[in-house]
Structure 1
Amino acid sequence: MNRWLLRGLAGLLLVSSALQAQTPAPAAKTIYLIRHGHYSPDPKADEKLGPHLSALGVAQAKLVGARLAGMPKGFDKLYVSPVQRARDTAAAIAPGFAGRKFETIDDLAECTPPTRRAEIMAKEKPEDLAACQAALDRVFDAHFKPASGAESTEMYVCHGNVIRYLVTRSLGVDSKAWLEMSVGHASITKIRIEADGRYKVIAVGDVGHLPPNLLTGASGDGERDLAVSALPE
């Protein structure tokens, strides 16, 4: 073989080896999905952003924030939905992460993806269902993959529909099954993506940081508030 050709091949191999050495190896990523706290309907609220948290929701958000701040590994990235109740929840969590900022992901906004429930599908416009699914699939494809170079832990403050849909994608099951789950306000859902791309759903709707009288938002939870009742006479 021509010696110049051999030299050229040798050079290409060296460049390829150098590039491989510079490419960070995949690593595990742990994702925490935090549902926003309780809120009450407000006809005066911005139609797109929705209402603020209620007093009860603020209390829930502060409690989940304390739990998250106490986690030993900390968080490498913080994300939040653009919707007001999620932003309020992130604001209540933020003091535990001084100097850090939440990055807004528009695709994390609450929406309704396709479901098995005919009564839900009948109320939604097909184009809205498709747009919601496309947005949540973009979130999954962009973020639910191994980290690069070193293990990473990320927090996403968002919504019940969003969380349940992302759980079905992580499990590799029919995404239309998302409504067969229920997650409470200020709950924690934890999903780990291994370096080789395998998914491990570790917790869904964990509310161990909330006392029973502050549980709302999941199927079976009652209506509650923080109003002070009259002092018995």
Structure 2
Amino acid sequence: MATFSRLHKIALIGLGAVGGGLAYYHIGKNEKKFDVQNSWTTNYTPSVKWEKNWDHREPESIVKPAKSNKPEDENRFNEQVEKAKSKAVRHLFLIRHGQYHVDGTTDCERTLTELGRQQADITGKRLAELDIKWDLLVRSTMTRAQETAKIIAKHLPKDIEIKDCQLLEEGAPIPPEPPVGHWRPEPRQFFQDSARIEAAFRRYFYRAPPDQTHDTYTLLVCHANVIRFFVCKALQFPPEAWLRISLNHASITWLSILPNGNVVLRSLSDTGHMEPKYITSR
């Protein structure tokens, strides 16, 4: 009986496949608008194409065109394009601050909690273990980012360059899609913060200049909204999607800008170096 049941199922599947094939043939024969392509590789067109000159440093865009079609002019143009090409990788490590006292009424009162200090210390040790020659540490001027950066810096070489940047302060970069009911800043806040955070992106995200011969590694200690917006912008995702990304406290997000202008996300909100008891996001 069991054998008959299996044969019966096979027969039904076979009939279903044949029937489906006949139905498809009939539809395809009489109504071509219902034709189905069997793979995305057939007549595939990207919905959004990569903008190569996103940082306005594409060599062909900064070199004057050849004066004529003469070989000497074209050769001169090609030589200038080669000289304008980037040769190194810019690595950006975006670190979110540690957990902080959210009930503070002013920025000065929104200091790190004890757990937040522990998170920053663990992340500092992790960054030191990577054995990377850090070129620069940039920190937001808000209290929780300043404290986080100071704890991290204890684990880094003493000669690392440290800068403060108001552009990296937390804010509302752009109205999110889909909207979130419990978080609705005034339109004025988006108007003010959007330009500032966009300016921060332009300051730190660009391919290496042609005279840069070695890869660089920069640390940006800032905030969740800023980092999420940066990730969307760098990968040319819809910027309105930034609030769909969740970031843990003191997490590591690593982006690499390649010489040809392509951007690679190597890690997002990485807290694998922490024990579960230390991981928080709110």
After TM superposition, the score normalised by the length of structure 1 is 0.78
Specify the alignment match of 1:109 in structure 2.
169
Contact 2:97 2:249 in 1 (8 A): yes
Contact 2:89 2:259 in 1 (8 A): yes
Specify the alignment match of 1:52 in structure 2.
111
Change (3 A) 1:179 1:20: closer
Specify the alignment match of 1:158 in structure 2.
222
Quote how far apart the aligned CAs of 1:42 are.
4.2
Quote how far apart the aligned CAs of 1:50 are.
4.9
Quote how far apart the aligned CAs of 1:163 are.
0.8
Matched, 1:34 2:95: yes
- Equivalents in 1 of 2:199, 2:244: separation in Å? 22
Percent sequence identity is 30
**Deviations 1:127-151 (CA, angstroms, capped at 9, x unpaired):** 2112222112111112111123131
Across the aligned residues of Structure 1 and Structure 2, the Cα RMSD in angstroms comes to 2.7
**Aligned-partner residue type, residue 111 of structure 1:** G
- Equivalents in 1 of 2:219, 2:183: separation in Å? 33
Matched, 1:203 2:264: no
- Equivalents in 1 of 2:207, 2:125: separation in Å? 27
- Equivalents in 2 of 1:122, 1:70: separation in Å? 38
Q: Which of these two proteins has the greater Rg computed from alpha carbons?
A: 2
**Aligned-partner residue type, residue 200 of structure 2:** V
- Equivalents in 1 of 2:109, 2:188: separation in Å? 21
Q: Name the SS of the counterpart of 1:147 in structure 2.
A: coil
User: Gaps spanning 5+ residues in structure 2: where?
Assistant: 1-76
- Equivalents in 2 of 1:96, 1:48: separation in Å? 26
- Equivalents in 2 of 1:166, 1:67: separation in Å? 22
- Equivalents in 1 of 2:181, 2:107: separation in Å? 20
Q: Name the SS of the counterpart of 2:199 in structure 1.
A: helix
- Equivalents in 1 of 2:237, 2:83: separation in Å? 36
Change (3 A) 1:197 1:58: same
Specify the alignment match of 1:87 in structure 2.
146
Specify the alignment match of 2:187 in structure 1.
126
**Aligned-partner residue type, residue 34 of structure 1:** I
After TM superposition, the score normalised by the length of structure 2 is 0.65
Quote how far apart the aligned CAs of 1:81 are.
0.5
User: Gaps spanning 5+ residues in structure 1: where?
Assistant: 1-15, 219-233
Contact 1:37 1:85 in 2 (8 A): yes
